[in-house]
Amino acid sequence: MRQMPPAHPFDDDKLKEECGVFGVVGVADAANFIALGLHALQHRGQEAGGIVTHDADAGFQSARRFGYVRDTFTSQKVMETLPGPIGIGHVRYSTAGSKGSTAIRDVQPFFGEFSMGGAAIAHNGNITNADALKRELIDRGSIFQSSSDSECIIHLMARSLQRNIPERMKDALRRVEGAFSVVAMTRTKLIGVRDPRGVRPLVLGKVGDGGYALSSETCALDIIGADFVREIEPGEMVVISEGKVESFHPFERTASRFCIFEHVYFSRPDSILEGRSVYETRRQIGVELAREAPVDADLVCPVPDSGTPAAIGFAHESGIPYGMGIIRNQYMGRTFIEPSEQIRNMGVRLKLNVNRALIKNKRIILVDDSVVRGTTSQKIKDMLLDAGAAEVHFRIASPPTMWPCFYGVDTPDRDKLLAANMTVDEMCKHLDVDSLQFISIDGLYRAAGVASGRDAAAPRYCDACFTGDYPVKPTDMIAKGFELKTVAE
């Protein structure tokens, strides 16, 4: 039996997006397009992937595998089992309902057979009332096959009295709280939906003369040669068939709250979000950071690769030279075969190495995207000092991460978040660096294009991980004892 690749032993100090979704209709060999799209979205989920297609002769076909797309969906033998002009796919980390799960039954897309035909669904995000929904559904006779919160949607669709799949999906998603970008398919229709606040991304692309694609990010449209059409709006459902896109708004309209961490870290820098280049936003974060937290130093270095655009912006604004003081081993991934204890003790050096000739005797400004637990930051600081750096100053391209995310991001419990338990000065002493500064929440908003900064009364983004301001109540977590932010905090 194929083993799931072990989690990288040195990647536990980053927030992880949990899913990427992709779908296509109106093309020959849809599965090949989906595999390419999922490959481009691999950064959003590296644990497992799945593809469902439909062919007039073969019907619905599916394949779900652990590991990277390049290792699992490039085999001709596998791809030949997935014929048809329509299909959807999904890459994942463990969802909130299945932390640490290695069961293939938890790998999406999920499929259901209804009286009017079959349907498959793939979901990016997290359902914050999934526990309550699951108890209700089980009490009413539903039998769950997975531990994923996403399966609730299939069961809610099965219980709907509506006469077609899109209407049943509307019914189901009106019961769901939290964040969701969904791609789904019937025998002939490709469907895309975003939650009313638009927390997670979803975009529409045009493929050739009559085909269409739905994707978590625009970079996956680029890889298949699709033209970007537009973003799916918050609260919008699109139904695509026979070269036609129909748009519906089945939810009560509310203020959008797109995840600002998509701009900071999750999305690929070559994607476009809200009409803005992700790379340019990250570079501008570095510019704002240099204005807010200047420091006298000799060299600006990124923690590769996520800190690179911000470091470039910081260097340009400050006038301090930019240099690759840390080099990433591009071949050190999550599929690294079970390291021995001795190799594990080498720590982050397996993944990152210091460019000694560049940083020796220099005062280094180290730019990273975030500090979560702080364990990796300490190791990188030690590496720089061991290699002869005179000083190490950390500049962080996001505000302090003080609260867990319940909308589709793998976040530690609050007591594991360094910034939730220490002031910035205490964190600086804990990390034993010469200085530590984070970009302000207003500076982050300015970098994302909101010139006035954050409006506390009506923030444009979901920034709960920084502020504790949750746009959707985390119903299940509150039932388990999670305490929301108080006025004093």
Phi, psi of 456 (to 5 degrees): -60, -30
Q: Are 195 and 125 in contact (CB under 8 A)?
A: yes
Give 170's DSSP letter. H
SS3 91: strand
Query: Residue 480 CB: number of other CB atoms within 10 A?
Result: 9
Q: Are 96 and 126 in contact (CB under 8 A)?
A: yes
Phi, psi of 441 (to 5 degrees): -65, -35
Q: Are 46 and 91 in contact (CB under 8 A)?
A: yes
Q: Are 273 and 335 in contact (CB under 8 A)?
A: no
User: What are the residues whose beta carbons fall under 8 Å from the beta carbon of 344, sequence distance 6 or more?
Assistant: 9
Enzyme catalytic residues:
19
User: What are the residues whose beta carbons fall under 8 Å from the beta carbon of 341, sequence distance 6 or more?
Assistant: none
Angle between helices 278-292 and 308-318 (to 10 degrees): 50
DSSP secondary structure string for all residues of 314-335: HHHHH-PPB---EEE-TT--TT
Give 179's DSSP letter. E
Q: Are 73 and 51 in contact (CB under 8 A)?
A: yes
Phi, psi of 18 (to 5 degrees): -105, -15
Q: Are 32 and 79 in contact (CB under 8 A)?
A: yes
SS3 352: strand
The whole-angstrom separation of Cα 73 and Cα 458 is: 44
The whole-angstrom separation of Cα 211 and Cα 223 is: 15
Q: Which amino acid is at 380?
A: I
SS3 401: coil
What residue ranges in 276-428 does DSSP mark as E strands? 276-277, 299-302, 326-328, 352-354, 363-368, 391-396, 409-410
User: What are the residues whose beta carbons fall under 8 Å from the beta carbon of 62, sequence distance 6 or more?
Assistant: 50, 51, 52, 53, 82, 109, 111, 120
The whole-angstrom separation of Cα 103 and Cα 105 is: 5
